[in-house]
Amino acid sequence: MTLRYAILGLLTYAPMNGYYLKKIFDTSINHFWSANLSQIYRELGALEHKGFVRSKVLPQDDRPDKRIYCITDEGKKAFAGWLEEFPETSVTPKRDEFMVRIFFGSKLDKEKLIGQFQKFIDEREKGKLYIEALQNESKTYSGLKNADKKLSEFEKSLKERCDDFSFEKEMPYWSFTLKRAVYTSDASIKWAKECIRELEKQP
């Protein structure tokens, strides 16, 4: 369900094709909700079947043709409804394989485990760099905006029909999501370092 509404939400910004939606996912939503292409195509099909989006094929000469999706009034209504009815709980079912391995950490030798914690830290540091890059990008909102520039005239005409949209309004909310990523990364790094210290002072 969430993927469905994430796609609908993105389509309220501008009409897009599946491949392009995937790009947007990878550069903005990815750090709290990832999607892969086949899933997006599948979902777009389902959305069109429901009448929440409409598609047109945009022929191209040098590139494969594109299927551009535009959100319908029903789609907008469905998205608004979904946003309105926030879930009773924000606690999401956690699936963290790394933690399962740590839970059974007594069955591994210390050096290997410390190495894993170190790898864990390195990954969060890299993750932070990535997030910080996104933050800088979003300050000039080049993310979606640059992408926007690439839209063809045909797509732009569709866009004008489909939305009244300014990036400035979205900025604070996008920043919120990025900030959380930084905070939790920091917390995880601090945690892992403490774990290493504790392991090292053990006999």
Partner DNA sequence: AGGGCCATGTAACCTGTTACATGATTGA
Partner DNA sequence: TCAATCATGTAACAGGTTACATGGCCCT
- Cα 103 from Cα 113, distance rounded (Å): 11
Q: Is residue 95 a contact residue for DNA (CB under 7 A)?
A: yes
- Cα 163 from Cα 154, distance rounded (Å): 15
| Interacting partner of 133 out of DNA, a copy of itself, none (Cβ under 5 to 8 A depending on kind) | none
Q: Is residue 33 a contact residue for a copy of itself (CB under 8 A)?
A: yes
Q: Is residue 1 a contact residue for DNA (CB under 7 A)?
A: yes
- Cα 81 from Cα 77, distance rounded (Å): 6
**Terminal CA-to-CA distance of the chain, rounded, Å?**
50
Q: What number of chain residues touch DNA (CB under 7 A)?
A: 29
Q: Is residue 141 a contact residue for a copy of itself (CB under 8 A)?
A: no
CB atoms within 10 A of CB 47: 23
Q: Is residue 39 a contact residue for DNA (CB under 7 A)?
A: yes
- Cα 95 from Cα 92, distance rounded (Å): 9
| Residues at the contact surface with a copy of itself, assessed by CB under 8 A | 2, 5-6, 9, 12, 28-29, 31-34, 79-80, 83-84, 86-87, 89-108, 112, 116, 119-120, 123, 127, 169-170, 172-174, 176-177, 179-180, 183-184, 186-188, 190-191, 194-195, 198-199, 202
